[in-house]
Chain A
Amino acid sequence: QKEVEQDPGPLSVPEGAIVSLNCTYSNSAFQYFMWYRQYSRKGPELLMYTYSSGNKEDGRFTAQVDKSSKYISLFIRDSQPSDSATYLCAMSGDRLAFGKGNQVVVIP
Protein backbone atom coordinates (compact mmCIF):
# COMPACT_ATOMS: atom_id res chain seq x y z
CA GLN A 1 0.00 0.00 0.00
CA LYS A 2 1.35 3.40 -0.95
CA GLU A 3 1.82 5.87 1.88
CA VAL A 4 -0.20 8.53 0.08
CA GLU A 5 -3.09 7.85 -2.28
CA GLN A 6 -4.38 10.56 -4.59
CA ASP A 7 -6.60 9.66 -7.50
CA PRO A 8 -4.77 11.30 -10.42
CA GLY A 9 -7.85 11.63 -12.59
CA PRO A 10 -8.17 15.03 -14.35
CA LEU A 11 -10.95 17.35 -13.23
CA SER A 12 -12.69 19.91 -15.46
CA VAL A 13 -15.04 22.43 -13.87
CA PRO A 14 -16.78 25.60 -15.05
CA GLU A 15 -15.55 28.92 -13.75
CA GLY A 16 -17.09 29.72 -10.37
CA ALA A 17 -17.57 26.10 -9.32
CA ILE A 18 -16.18 24.58 -6.14
CA VAL A 19 -13.26 22.24 -6.68
CA SER A 20 -12.84 19.40 -4.20
CA LEU A 21 -9.64 17.35 -4.04
CA ASN A 22 -8.60 14.73 -1.53
CA CYS A 23 -5.90 12.33 -0.45
CA THR A 24 -5.73 9.42 1.93
CA TYR A 25 -2.69 8.19 3.74
CA SER A 26 -1.61 5.16 5.71
CA ASN A 27 1.28 6.39 7.85
CA SER A 28 0.08 7.52 11.28
CA ALA A 29 3.44 9.23 11.85
CA PHE A 30 2.62 11.98 9.35
CA GLN A 31 2.31 15.24 11.24
CA TYR A 32 2.27 17.96 8.61
CA PHE A 33 -0.02 18.11 5.60
CA MET A 34 0.56 20.26 2.57
CA TRP A 35 -0.95 21.07 -0.79
CA TYR A 36 1.38 22.10 -3.57
CA ARG A 37 0.24 23.67 -6.83
CA GLN A 38 2.14 23.03 -10.05
CA TYR A 39 1.51 25.03 -13.19
CA SER A 40 2.47 23.54 -16.53
CA ARG A 41 6.21 23.66 -17.21
CA LYS A 42 6.90 24.90 -13.67
CA GLY A 43 7.96 23.36 -10.38
CA PRO A 44 5.49 22.85 -7.52
CA GLU A 45 4.87 25.73 -5.10
CA LEU A 46 3.49 25.46 -1.59
CA LEU A 47 -0.17 26.47 -1.44
CA MET A 48 -1.43 25.38 1.98
CA TYR A 49 0.22 23.92 5.09
CA THR A 50 -1.61 22.46 8.08
CA TYR A 51 -0.53 20.67 11.20
CA SER A 52 -3.58 19.58 13.12
CA SER A 53 -6.96 18.15 12.32
CA GLY A 54 -9.53 20.73 11.29
CA ASN A 55 -9.87 23.41 8.67
CA LYS A 56 -7.54 26.13 7.52
CA GLU A 57 -8.67 28.89 5.19
CA ASP A 58 -6.63 31.15 2.96
CA GLY A 59 -8.76 33.26 0.68
CA ARG A 60 -10.65 30.98 -1.67
CA PHE A 61 -8.73 27.91 -0.50
CA THR A 62 -9.64 25.66 2.42
CA ALA A 63 -7.51 22.76 3.59
CA GLN A 64 -9.11 20.12 5.75
CA VAL A 65 -7.40 17.40 7.75
CA ASP A 66 -9.04 14.45 9.47
CA LYS A 67 -6.31 12.50 11.22
CA SER A 68 -8.71 9.92 12.62
CA SER A 69 -9.72 8.94 9.07
CA LYS A 70 -6.28 9.65 7.56
CA TYR A 71 -7.92 11.89 4.99
CA ILE A 72 -7.10 15.37 3.76
CA SER A 73 -8.99 17.65 1.40
CA LEU A 74 -8.52 20.88 -0.51
CA PHE A 75 -11.47 23.02 -1.55
CA ILE A 76 -11.26 25.87 -4.02
CA ARG A 77 -14.24 28.21 -3.94
CA ASP A 78 -15.25 30.42 -6.88
CA SER A 79 -12.70 28.69 -9.10
CA GLN A 80 -10.95 30.81 -11.70
CA PRO A 81 -9.19 29.88 -14.96
CA SER A 82 -5.94 30.86 -13.20
CA ASP A 83 -6.53 27.95 -10.79
CA SER A 84 -5.94 25.53 -13.68
CA ALA A 85 -2.95 23.52 -12.51
CA THR A 86 -1.96 20.21 -10.99
CA TYR A 87 -2.51 19.98 -7.23
CA LEU A 88 -0.30 17.62 -5.25
CA CYS A 89 -0.91 16.62 -1.67
CA ALA A 90 2.16 16.04 0.47
CA MET A 91 2.72 14.78 3.97
CA SER A 92 5.66 14.99 6.26
CA GLY A 93 7.23 12.45 8.51
CA ASP A 94 10.99 12.11 8.24
CA ARG A 95 10.61 13.12 4.58
CA LEU A 96 7.91 14.47 2.34
CA ALA A 97 5.67 11.93 0.65
CA PHE A 98 3.72 13.22 -2.35
CA GLY A 99 0.52 12.10 -4.01
CA LYS A 100 0.29 11.68 -7.78
CA GLY A 101 -1.46 15.00 -8.28
CA ASN A 102 -4.82 16.05 -9.73
CA GLN A 103 -4.89 18.07 -12.93
CA VAL A 104 -7.60 20.70 -12.59
CA VAL A 105 -8.92 22.65 -15.57
CA VAL A 106 -11.27 25.57 -14.91
CA ILE A 107 -13.23 26.40 -18.03
CA PRO A 108 -14.18 30.07 -18.56
Chain B
Amino acid sequence: EADIYQTPRYLVIGTGKKITLECSQTMGHDKMYWYQQDPGMELHLIHYSYGVNSTEKGDLSSESTVSRIRTEHFPLTLESARPSHTSQYLCASSEMDNQETQYFGPGTRLLVL
Protein backbone atom coordinates (compact mmCIF):
# COMPACT_ATOMS: atom_id res chain seq x y z
CA GLU B 1 0.00 0.00 0.00
CA ALA B 2 1.21 3.47 -0.93
CA ASP B 3 2.52 5.69 1.84
CA ILE B 4 0.63 8.79 0.90
CA TYR B 5 -1.91 10.37 3.20
CA GLN B 6 -4.62 12.94 2.85
CA THR B 7 -6.60 14.76 5.51
CA PRO B 8 -9.38 15.35 6.00
CA ARG B 9 -11.08 12.51 4.15
CA TYR B 10 -14.40 14.34 4.13
CA LEU B 11 -15.14 18.03 4.59
CA VAL B 12 -18.43 19.89 4.59
CA ILE B 13 -17.99 23.62 4.82
CA GLY B 14 -19.87 26.83 4.18
CA THR B 15 -19.31 29.28 1.35
CA GLY B 16 -16.54 31.80 1.93
CA LYS B 17 -14.50 29.72 4.35
CA LYS B 18 -10.78 29.18 3.89
CA ILE B 19 -9.76 25.53 3.69
CA THR B 20 -6.50 23.64 3.45
CA LEU B 21 -6.33 20.06 2.22
CA GLU B 22 -3.30 18.22 3.53
CA CYS B 23 -1.17 15.72 1.63
CA SER B 24 1.92 13.94 2.87
CA GLN B 25 4.06 11.13 1.47
CA THR B 26 6.85 9.16 3.07
CA MET B 27 8.39 7.71 -0.10
CA GLY B 28 10.80 10.59 -0.70
CA HIS B 29 9.26 11.34 -4.09
CA ASP B 30 10.22 14.60 -5.71
CA LYS B 31 7.12 14.99 -7.88
CA MET B 32 3.72 15.56 -6.34
CA TYR B 33 0.35 16.27 -7.93
CA TRP B 34 -3.16 17.40 -7.14
CA TYR B 35 -6.05 16.12 -9.23
CA GLN B 36 -9.74 16.90 -9.20
CA GLN B 37 -12.13 14.03 -9.81
CA ASP B 38 -15.87 14.35 -10.40
CA PRO B 39 -18.22 11.38 -10.92
CA GLY B 40 -18.05 10.02 -14.45
CA MET B 41 -15.33 12.47 -15.43
CA GLU B 42 -11.61 12.26 -16.07
CA LEU B 43 -9.05 13.07 -13.43
CA HIS B 44 -7.95 16.62 -14.09
CA LEU B 45 -4.51 17.81 -13.03
CA ILE B 46 -4.78 21.13 -11.18
CA HIS B 47 -1.31 21.51 -9.66
CA TYR B 48 2.04 19.74 -9.59
CA SER B 49 5.47 20.19 -8.13
CA TYR B 50 8.95 19.03 -9.11
CA GLY B 51 10.31 19.46 -5.61
CA VAL B 52 10.79 21.93 -2.79
CA ASN B 53 9.82 25.49 -3.76
CA SER B 54 8.50 24.32 -7.14
CA THR B 55 4.80 24.67 -7.98
CA GLU B 56 3.13 24.59 -11.38
CA LYS B 57 -0.43 24.92 -12.60
CA GLY B 58 -1.97 21.90 -14.28
CA ASP B 59 -4.34 21.51 -17.17
CA LEU B 60 -7.50 22.52 -15.33
CA SER B 61 -7.76 26.09 -14.14
CA SER B 62 -8.28 26.21 -10.41
CA GLU B 63 -8.71 28.96 -7.84
CA SER B 64 -6.75 26.90 -5.36
CA THR B 65 -3.10 27.44 -4.49
CA VAL B 66 -0.40 25.04 -3.37
CA SER B 67 2.93 25.21 -1.60
CA ARG B 68 5.92 22.87 -1.30
CA ILE B 69 8.10 23.86 1.61
CA ARG B 70 9.08 20.30 2.47
CA THR B 71 9.57 17.34 0.14
CA GLU B 72 6.98 15.23 1.89
CA HIS B 73 4.24 17.83 2.21
CA PHE B 74 2.08 19.39 -0.54
CA PRO B 75 -0.98 21.21 0.88
CA LEU B 76 -3.72 22.74 -1.25
CA THR B 77 -5.54 25.88 -0.10
CA LEU B 78 -8.79 27.50 -1.13
CA GLU B 79 -8.98 31.05 0.24
CA SER B 80 -12.75 31.33 -0.16
CA ALA B 81 -14.67 28.14 -0.81
CA ARG B 82 -17.62 28.17 -3.20
CA PRO B 83 -20.18 25.48 -4.12
CA SER B 84 -18.41 25.13 -7.50
CA HIS B 85 -15.39 23.79 -5.58
CA THR B 86 -17.38 20.74 -4.49
CA SER B 87 -15.44 17.75 -5.77
CA GLN B 88 -13.03 14.99 -4.82
CA TYR B 89 -9.41 16.07 -4.58
CA LEU B 90 -6.71 13.44 -5.06
CA CYS B 91 -3.06 13.88 -4.19
CA ALA B 92 -0.37 11.76 -5.83
CA SER B 93 3.39 11.43 -5.95
CA SER B 94 5.99 9.83 -8.20
CA GLU B 95 9.67 9.56 -8.78
CA MET B 96 11.03 12.39 -10.89
CA ASP B 97 11.68 10.26 -13.99
CA ASN B 98 8.69 7.94 -13.70
CA GLN B 99 5.49 9.97 -13.79
CA GLU B 100 3.71 6.94 -15.25
CA THR B 101 3.77 5.24 -11.85
CA GLN B 102 1.91 7.59 -9.58
CA TYR B 103 0.90 6.72 -6.05
CA PHE B 104 -2.40 8.21 -4.99
CA GLY B 105 -3.77 9.11 -1.63
CA PRO B 106 -7.33 8.15 -0.64
CA GLY B 107 -8.70 11.56 -1.58
CA THR B 108 -10.61 14.32 0.16
CA ARG B 109 -14.30 14.68 -0.63
CA LEU B 110 -15.20 18.35 -0.33
CA LEU B 111 -18.76 19.65 -0.14
CA VAL B 112 -19.23 23.41 -0.07
CA LEU B 113 -22.70 24.53 0.94
Q: Which chain A residue lies CB-closest to B59?
A: A95
What distance in Å separates the Cβ of B46 from its nearest Cβ neighbour in chain A? 12
Inter-chain CA distance A88–B41, complex, in Å, is: 10
Q: Does B45 contact A (CB under 8 A)?
A: yes
Do A43 and B99 touch (CB < 8 A)? Answer: no
B101–A49 touching, CB < 8 Å:
yes
Also in contact, A43 and B104, with CB within 8 A (given A95-B59, A95-B99): yes
Expressed in whole angstroms, the Cα–Cα distance for A79 and B104 within the complex equals 25
User: Within 8 Å of chain A (Cβ to Cβ): is B2?
Assistant: yes
Identify whether the interface residues of A are mostly helix, strand, loop, or mixed. Answer: strand
Closest chain A residue, CB of each to CB of B90: A43
Q: A45 to B2, Cβ gap below 8 A?
A: yes
Q: Are A99 and B42 within 8 A (Cβ)?
A: yes
How big is the B interface, by class? 20 to 34
> How many angstroms between the C-alpha atoms of A90 and B107 in the bound complex?
18
**Which of chain B's residues has its CB closest to A6's CB?**
B42
Tell me what chain B mostly uses at the interface: helix, strand, loop, or mixed. Answer: loop
User: Knowing A49-B101, A96-B100 touch, does A43 contact B107 (C-beta < 8 A)?
Assistant: yes
Q: How many A-B residue pairs have CB under 8 A?
A: 52
A11 an interface residue at 8 Å Cβ cutoff?
Answer: no
* Interchain CB contact under 8 A, B42 and A49: no
Say which size band chain A's interface belongs to.
20 to 34
- For residue A17, CB closer than 8 A to chain B, the reply is no
- Judge whether B13 is part of the interface by a CB distance below 8 angstroms: no
- Give the nearest-CB partner of B91 in chain A: A43
* A61 neighbours in B (Cβ, 8 Å): none
Q: Are A42 and B40 in contact (CB under 8 A)?
A: no
Whole-angstrom distance between the alpha carbons of A6 and B4 in the complex? 27
Q: Determine if B100 and A43 form an interchain contact, defined as CB atoms under 8 angstroms apart.
A: no
A contact set with B: CB distance below 8 Å:
2, 4, 8, 32, 34, 41-46, 49, 88, 90, 92, 95-101
Known: A96-B45, A101-B40. 14 other contacts (CB 8 A): A8-B40, A43-B92, A43-B104, A43-B105, A44-B102, A49-B100, A49-B101, A92-B100, A95-B45, A95-B48, A95-B59, A96-B100, A97-B42, A98-B43
